[in-house]
Amino acid sequence: MLPTVRVYLSGPMGAGKSTVAAAVAAQLGTRALDLDERVEELAGRSIPEIFSERGEGAFRALEKEALKTLPSDVGVVSLGGGTVVDDDTRQMLLREGIVATLTADASVLAERVGRGEGRPLLGDDPQGDLGRLLQTRAAAYAEAHAVIDTGTLDAGQIAAEIVAVRNRSPIVVPLGLRTYQVEVGRGTRHRVGILANEHSAGDAILVFDGDQDRPWPADALRDLTLAGKAPIEVKLPGDEAHKNIASVEQVWDTALDAEVDRRAIVIGVGGGVIGDLTGFAASTLLRGVALGQVPTTLLAMVDSSVGGKTGFNRPRGKNLVGTFYQPKFVLCDVETLSTLPSEERIAGLAEVVKSAWLDSEESVAMLERDAEALVAGDTDATIRAVRMSISLKSRIVHEDEHESGRRMLLNLGHTVGHGLEAASDYRGIRHGEGVALGMIAAMRVAAGLGLGRREETDRLTQLLASLGLPTDLDQRLNSRALGFIGSDKKRRGDRIYFVIPRLPGQTEIELLGLDEVRGAVERG
């Protein structure tokens, strides 16, 4: 059952927020509140008086206070037109509730607000002023769970659409005008046709792996065809050994032979290898076409499908050639995990542990409580784990999309983990297993620097073991794996940015010498 979640309606003046708020509240059986009215109540002044006497800065501060003191029985809030311009406020609302942006053409808005009496931000040219507001606030308004044009829909229709979004409860990856939503749940894969049409007016290229025991590509083919977008099919091997430029060329050439244009969308259905190859192909085909991701492995759901990293392997190491290219949508359907071998699903839990350790004590404790259920493949526990992981990643990607700083934290366990994978020629160890062992190696480095405690190392090791993940680092470590550390993308000359785990939620990044890292890992 969907937990209680508050709906926030954002958008410019004249978009119909108050009217729609009442309609949404009626459908949900809750109470609506206008934030401007709450601000006036707190200040004892009208909005124009606050602007005139104290300025816009004071008004925005009052808005924040009003949001923190909302009555508990309020389920729908109509925000002020500029509330979400403040980044901290906007990110808080995206985390805590469902944000729907209502908008319309400036001419429609101007007709609704008339001469703008009582609107401090409007002057003698309401339509021009509204056009400029829409332009300056476009990126902030785009960071929402849904953006709805109210120009042609009535309040009931808009409310029904908002309630549907609330029920899906997508996770927003907030990147201004390139913002997208990640849907997590049961049956979400069947929305691929709807979303492909929403984000593309051209052909669909469906890229998938060749495992005949997994029916999910067939589902995507059917759903796209029913949506009037019968796809061009590209079947690729889904293993790391084929994560190479030859596979990318197959996507390029199939699409070009079909004479697609820049309105096309490339959709990947499969694991992380398919997702990475699909993303790179989309980012380079005709210099960039739309991309959709339908990950069908746990590892791909919590890691590669979100955040926009694409790439393929080279003999010198893993993912050394690639791009940053965000998808238009991601559909994480936990039903697709039902045909995944248990060892593959369990390997994906390593990235979940990584996310929890980066996130907070609460997230680590959740995994400890859910460990038995996660190993058994319990759906509700899996959804909780996937949502936690994606929510963390969306926050970090918002702050650092291109991995110039904080996003490096997401590489916890990957420096040594990638080395172990490369040393096995991507055949002897799964990515998740490498990450699990890499996190133990990172704990060793932390201890060697005097930054880690035995208690944290023991706790992490016990959590990994309880989830069925390997912890026998010494038995798998060899000089070849350590040598691949020098090929890590975070290397700077003979030094490397290394992710140091401390207490949950307190992970750090240190610039260390390569030999220093290798020595700490070997010493144990």
d(CA 88, CA 34): 20
Catalytic residue among 145, 328, 398, 411: 411
Catalytic residue among 229, 407, 444, 489: 407
For residue 117, what pLDDT is reported?
63
Catalytic residue among 6, 17, 137, 414: 414
Catalytic residue among 229, 242, 309, 489: 309
For residue 211, what pLDDT is reported?
63
Catalytic residue among 68, 287, 454, 492: 287
Residue 413: which H helix or E strand, with range? Answer: none
Is 263 catalytic? The answer is no
For residue 2, what pLDDT is reported?
46
Q: Is 87 exposed, middle or buried (0-12, 13-18, 19+ CB in 10 A)?
A: middle
What domains sit in the chain, N to C, each tagged with a CATH number?
A: 6-169 (3.40.50.300), 180-340 (3.40.50.1970), 394-523 (1.20.1090.10)
Catalytic residue among 143, 183, 240, 351: 351
Catalytic residue among 189, 243, 418, 489: 418
Residue 312: strand, helix, or coil: strand
Is 411 catalytic? The answer is yes
Is 393 catalytic? The answer is yes
d(CA 517, CA 524): 11
d(CA 285, CA 514): 37
Residues 6 or more apart from 52 whose CB is under 8 A from it? 120
Is 459 catalytic? The answer is no
Residue 264: strand, helix, or coil: coil
Q: Could you give phi then psi for residue 270, rounded to 5 degrees?
A: 160, -160
N-term to C-term CA, the chain: 46
What tens-digit pLDDT sequence spans the chain (524 residues)? 344 799 999 999 999 999 999 999 999 999 999 999 999 988 898 888 888 888 888 888 889 999 999 999 999 999 999 999 999 999 999 999 999 999 999 999 999 888 756 576 677 788 899 999 999 999 999 999 999 999 989 999 999 999 999 999 999 999 999 999 999 999 999 999 999 999 999 999 999 997 656 799 999 999 999 999 999 999 998 888 889 999 999 999 999 999 999 999 999 999 999 999 999 999 999 999 999 999 999 999 999 999 999 988 888 877 788 999 999 999 999 999 999 999 999 999 999 999 999 999 999 999 999 999 999 999 999 999 999 999 999 999 999 999 888 999 999 999 999 899 888 888 889 999 999 999 999 999 998 888 878 899 999 999 999 999 999 999 989 889 888 887 776 778 889 999 999 999 999 999 998 888 898 888 76
For residue 1, what pLDDT is reported?
35
Is 403 catalytic? The answer is yes
Q: Which amino acid is at 18?
A: S
Is 190 catalytic? The answer is no
Catalytic residue among 17, 189, 328, 431: 431
Q: Are 319 and 308 in contact (CB under 8 A)?
A: no
d(CA 117, CA 134): 19
d(CA 482, CA 398): 32
Is 319 catalytic? The answer is no
Which residues is 501 bridged to in the sheet? none
Q: Are 446 and 501 in contact (CB under 8 A)?
A: yes
Is 287 catalytic? The answer is yes
What secondary structure letter does DSSP report for 501? -
Which residues is 172 bridged to in the sheet? 181
Q: How many angstroms from the chain centroid is the CA of residue 280?
A: 18
